[in-house]
Structure 1
Amino acid sequence: MAAAHSLHRCVVSQSGKQTASVFFLHGSGDTGPGLREWVRDVLKQDLDFPHIRVIYPTAPLRPYTPMRGAPSNVWFDRHKISKDCPEHLESIESMCRSLSGLIEEEVKAGIPKERMIIGGFSMGGAMALHLACRYHADIAGIFALSSFLNKDSVVYQVLKKNQSPVPELFQCHGKPDQLVLYQWGEETNGLLKASGMKTSFQAFPNLQHELSRPELEQLKSWILNKLPPGNE
């Protein structure tokens, strides 16, 4: 298991007093600094706020089955890239523990969990859903960009079993993003909603498996709505 302190992270600090935190998890094969640079390239500036610290962790290098065991920075392993296969729960559980350590560091620094948002791009969005829905349901919100869950994901099972409040999901997807991936993302949103989760789903025409400026601008507005400035 990767220990929490071994997870490297790239941070965009707030310009004023910190009263909230956002964790933004990269997609498979990327890194925290790589995602930050991509966001900055798309927006022509950092995703930054006067009161919110934005944290881009980097997944550990591990053998990745869809790449025939070649090492890659991934949050968890997959038996294959398909919504129909079982989840690789051992690696998902390990990473939930490691990322929970980062969350606890923010709590110790004085940021309550209800002033945190967890989200990500592609695999990072799936990881955020596992982490928040199953272990940190008291955070302010979740976002998932170009992401999907397996059709029998344990996330759905937990939501149906617990029947307790969970964070709202902000989900975006390019259309057509390799149409199959778009359909998986749309199906994920429907299954989460059917499991009792409050969700929104935004489709962006002519967007492939990538980030866009309108998408990130909408995300920034949503974050500010969920984490408004406090008494700084």
Structure 2
Amino acid sequence: MSKLGALHLTKHTGPKHTATVIYFHGSGSNGEDMREWVRLMVKNFSFPHIKVMFPTAPLQPYTPAGGQLSHVWFDRADISIDAPEKLESISSIEKEVRNLIKQENEDGIPSERIIVGGFSMGGALSFHTGYRWDRNLAGVFIFSSFLNDNSVVYKDLKGIGGAKIPPLLQVHGDIDDLVPAKWGQVTYERLKDIGVNGEFHILERLGHSLNRRGMNIIKEWIEKHLPEI
């Protein structure tokens, strides 16, 4: 039985579903809130051939919230680039994410036609998904997130040689007081040095939040990497 909460969808608007986007929410949120937040930013965040999935994280104790129950993808010692990763907690969500992708594969959507992305903690989950668990994905997009300095993502990528690596899009607000833009930039540069191709956008006068410009950048990038077929 899945540990995930409710799954919310934005269905494809055309006659044929040929690609999928999985959009992971931030800590303490849920799939429904993420879908509505995205709709507020971009009223037409829908595609003729792409289904957008907004899953909900399991309800579990979250250390940065004093151990209170929260909808989070995994636990963290602290919201800090210097904190060690809780690998056991990250591993516990791997099966659920793999199952989401597997279900799409079984419905006729190969990994090469799937993009994963997310906001804040959902972005961190997307790094692990696209650069550890399924490197055949069409791409990874990140809004206001980072990897810990000692992240296993860096270690795993260094060991794959010339294997395929999904392209990366990162966007980050320049006045983010929860996840400083510098953390996002450091993450991007380290991944780039390992061999990840991508682009990084700094959004002026934006804190730890989505905004219309950032979502439009993501929408255009999705359309580029998941064209109609």
TM range (shorter): over 0.9
> 1:1-232 maps to which residues of 2 (within 5 A)?
3-4=1-2, 6-16=4-14, 17-43=16-42, 45-163=43-161, 164-178=163-177, 181-230=180-229
Contact 2:146/2:179, CA 8 A, preserved across alignment: no
Cα deviation, 1:76-105, whole Å, max 9, x if unaligned, reads: 000111111210111111111111101111
Contact 2:178/2:208, CA 8 A, preserved across alignment: no
Aligned-partner Cα distance in 1 for 2:40–2:220: 19
The number of residues matched between the two structures is 227
Cα deviation, 1:113-159, whole Å, max 9, x if unaligned, reads: 10000000000011011011111000100001000000110000011
Q: Which amino acid aligns with 1:68?
A: G
Aligned-partner Cα distance in 2 for 1:178–1:122: 12
Aligned-partner Cα distance in 1 for 2:134–2:154: 15
Report the alpha carbon displacement of residue 181 of structure 1 after superposing the two structures with TM: 1.6
Contact 1:87/1:150, CA 8 A, preserved across alignment: yes
Q: Which amino acid aligns with 2:138?
A: A
Using the size of structure 2 for normalisation, the TM-score is 0.96
Contact 2:73/2:122, CA 8 A, preserved across alignment: yes
Q: 1:6 to 1:147 in 2, by over 3 A?
A: closer
- Unmatched 5+ stretches in structure 2: none
Report the alpha carbon displacement of residue 176 of structure 1 after superposing the two structures with TM: 1.7
SS of equivalent to 2:159: helix
Q: Which amino acid aligns with 1:145?
A: F
Aligned-partner Cα distance in 1 for 2:36–2:214: 16
Report the alpha carbon displacement of residue 47 of structure 1 after superposing the two structures with TM: 1.5
RMSD: 1.3
SS of equivalent to 2:219: helix
Using the size of structure 1 for normalisation, the TM-score is 0.95
Aligned-partner Cα distance in 1 for 2:130–2:6: 20
Aligned-partner Cα distance in 2 for 1:25–1:6: 12
Aligned-partner Cα distance in 1 for 2:39–2:96: 26
Percent of aligned pairs with the same amino acid: 45
Runs of 4+ in structure 1 deviating by more than 6 angstroms, as ranges, are: none
Q: 1:32 to 1:179 in 2, by over 3 A?
A: closer
Report the alpha carbon displacement of residue 205 of structure 1 after superposing the two structures with TM: 0.4
Report the alpha carbon displacement of residue 5 of structure 1 after superposing the two structures with TM: 6.8
Aligned-partner Cα distance in 1 for 2:18–2:179: 39
Contact 2:179/2:208, CA 8 A, preserved across alignment: no
Contact 1:4/1:97, CA 8 A, preserved across alignment: no
Q: Which amino acid aligns with 1:52?
A: I
Aligned-partner Cα distance in 2 for 1:190–1:102: 29
Contact 1:142/1:170, CA 8 A, preserved across alignment: yes
